[in-house]
Amino acid sequence: MKCPACNNESTRVLDSRVASDGVTVRRRRECSKKKCGFRFSTIEEIEILDLTIIKRNDRKESYNKEKLKSGIKKALEKRPHGDEEIAQLIRDIEMDLQKTRKNEVDSSVLGDIVMKHLKKFDKVAYIRYASVYRSFEDVKTFEKELRSLKKK
Ligand SMILES: [Zn+2]
């Protein structure tokens, strides 16, 4: 890890703390160059590797966090959420994804996990996401959902 202030190659870890979500670690670091001594912190999180998503047409593709992120950001466009909040949402989704303990997951399973979290996180985003990702056979559920939201 390079020092962001002086680009020095070596930094020291001052302390490590597991964040309240239990899956990210925050490390406080200090540049080892005496004249610099810049302090900063890094966040380490679990990365999902070797997960294959099976698409509706049976084609497989490897799990891509960036793709998930961009889908969620699209649904959350112009909604009042900060980057940290969204990052936490994505961590929660990935945690559920890992709990399936499978190497291959149907895209519908991933979609359901995302929707479950979005529903709690932001109803508008949830509807946006659902309208894009839910398959046609779920249209009834979707309409029911819309109606129940309108009532509120
Ligand atoms: Zn430095």
Question: Quick check: is 27 in a domain?
Answer: yes
CA distance 34 to 75: 47
Could you tell me the pLDDT band of residue 136, with boundaries at 50, 70 and 90? very low
At what angle are helices 83-99 and 107-121 packed, to 10 degrees?
140
Q: How far is the CA of 24 from the centre of ligand 1 (A)?
A: 25
Same domain, 35 and 94: no
Which structure tokens are listed for 67?
A: 């793709």
Q: How far is the CA of 15 from the centre of ligand 1 (A)?
A: 17
- Domain range enclosing 146: 52-151
22-54 per-position pLDDT tens digit: 778 899 999 999 999 999 999 887 777 789 999
Q: In the chain, at which residue ranges do the beta strands (DSSP E only) sit?
A: 11-18, 24-31, 39-45, 52-54, 60-62, 104-106
Q: How far is the CA of 39 from the centre of ligand 1 (A)?
A: 8
**DSSP code of residue 116:** H
Give 20-24 contacts, CB < 8 A, sequence gap 24+: 21/88, 21/91, 21/92, 23/91, 23/95, 24/91
- Rounded to an integer, the average pLDDT of 123-138 is 75
Q: How far is the CA of 3 from the centre of ligand 1 (A)?
A: 5
Q: How far is the CA of 45 from the centre of ligand 1 (A)?
A: 24
Same domain, 21 and 82: no
Same domain, 97 and 41: no
Give yes or no for residue 141 having a pLDDT over 90: no
- Rounded to an integer, the average pLDDT of 111-120 is 93
Same domain, 110 and 61: yes
Q: What is the mean pLDDT of the chain?
A: 87
Q: How far is the CA of 51 from the centre of ligand 1 (A)?
A: 37
62-100 per-position pLDDT tens digit: 999 999 999 999 999 999 999 889 999 998 999 899 888
Structural domain count of the chain? 2
Same domain, 76 and 143: yes
Could you tell me the pLDDT band of residue 135, with boundaries at 50, 70 and 90? low
Could you tell me the pLDDT band of residue 7, with boundaries at 50, 70 and 90? very high
- Rounded to an integer, the average pLDDT of 95-113 is 90
Question: Quick check: is 56 in a domain?
Answer: yes
